[in-house]
Amino acid sequence: MPRFLITAGATSVAIDTARKITNLAKGVTGHTLALEAAKRGHQVCLLTSNPNLATNQQNIETILFDSFDDLLFLLEKETCKNIYDAIVMTAAVSDYSCAGIFQTPDFKTPIATSGNEKLSGGHQELWLKLKPLPKLIDQFRTIWNFKGVLVKFKLESNIDEQKLIQIAEQSRVHSNANLVVANRIEDAAIKAWIGPINSKYQCVTREDLPTSLIDAIEKIWEAK
């Protein structure tokens, strides 16, 4: 029986000690996948940012995270244990960190802050400089040497199904993932596409996503 590592929820990056940048992901998808895998008898480690969805029921170990750095630390630690057969990255991971806070849009007048203090609320205008963060999904094959089944999630918006699948497949190949789950913001609560399964992408309802995805993971694992 494959052992699963599943991430769920959102990461954050700090602006100062009182403010942060995050996203709206709640971790429901990862939670439902963990429940489905556990129901089938698989051992699951669930890394989630949502304490309301934390569960330590039979076959599930839950570990909470908040920041990008938290998740990076946990993923490296857990992956390097070399005990997981499948990793499912449903978490919405931050793309950028705050590289500085400035008084002017030319980024030439930095605010005197180390990031370890609270900014005053009296500024009339502030400008944040953002820098790209490393893609955690890309670390599994290149740095952490993960050999098991890897599942990537790809979210887009305002594109047709054909373009979504094209982008998703390119993204999957780039990360050397076995499967990708693609969805669009406008109908993410209704449906998603999983692939490639038998060289094709399958559209499934949100209700059927946990069953269909765990089925696909099990088949790949059994064929290894």
pLDDT band at 69 (very low <50, low <70, confident <90, very high): very high
Indicate whether 10 and 100 sit together in one domain.
no
Type of residue numbered 42: H
Q: What pTM, to 2 d.p., does this model score?
A: 0.95
CA distance 135 to 215: 27
The residue segments making up the domain with residue 120 are 96-132
Indicate whether 88 and 43 sit together in one domain.
yes
DSSP state of 186: G
Residues 149-179 pLDDT 10s: 999 999 999 999 999 999 999 999 999 999 9
Indicate whether 72 and 90 sit together in one domain.
yes
Number of domains in the chain: 2
Identify the residue whose tokens are 């089925």.
215
CATH number at residue 13: 3.40.50.10300
Identify the residue whose tokens are 């050397």.
176
Indicate whether 193 and 144 sit together in one domain.
yes
